[in-house]
Structure 1
């Protein structure tokens, strides 16, 4: 059984027991989170597709930790004008473990 959820403007395909990195959530570690924007739920022989979400479907998860991803370096340069800029960015994320899919 798997589901497609939407959180933080992105979509994730999740199954029970998966560990997923999602956009930063306002929850403490070991707290539970319920994702209610479920776009698709699939069993062995049944497929439910929402328009845009599946009514009554939820995905329960537990927050594992908060952290920041590896640094992404942004480098801009123009050839003849001695213009170059370097900038770095580290995006925050929340790691969650999927406990159950209902729907």
Structure 2
């Protein structure tokens, strides 16, 4: 009779979270640099807390919120406030030769995710 060998595969400890801020959802890991909508009055080096966590994965434990998880805070470090590339909108009416040009630059904040 042949012997049965058992293999144990160690899964790396996965840490993931889905957070919501500025009306958008982001899949984040510790150490990720994300661009979020402008956060009011940030100061360099300040800690930013994201309270709206929809999903939290720590190793083999998965927590799913309905819609949000209570008591979970994702910490991040505020890095910089920047402006995105300019988006231009041009309207032209051929018969009257009328043109109108608009431009917009969205302000966003860069945050590095520190800890769950």
Same fold (TM over 0.5): yes
Distance 1:48 1:12 in 2: 16
The reply to whether residue 39 of structure 1 matches residue 54 of structure 2 is yes
Distance 1:63 1:42 in 2: 23
- Bigger fraction of residues in strand: 1
Structure 2 counterparts to residues 1-103 of structure 1, below 5 A: 1-25=15-39, 26-101=41-116
**How far is the alpha carbon of 1:30 from its aligned partner?**
0.7
**How far is the alpha carbon of 1:43 from its aligned partner?**
2.6
Count matched residues.
101
Any unmatched runs of 5+ in structure 1?
A: none
Per-residue CA deviation, residues 57-77 of structure 1 (Å, 9 max, x unaligned), is: 110000011111111111223
Any unmatched runs of 5+ in structure 2?
A: 1-14
Larger Rg: 2
Per-residue CA deviation, residues 5-62 of structure 1 (Å, 9 max, x unaligned), is: 1111111111000001111112111110110000111233222111110111110000
Q: TM-score, normalised by structure 1?
A: 0.89
What's the C-alpha RMSD, in Å, of the aligned pairs?
1.3
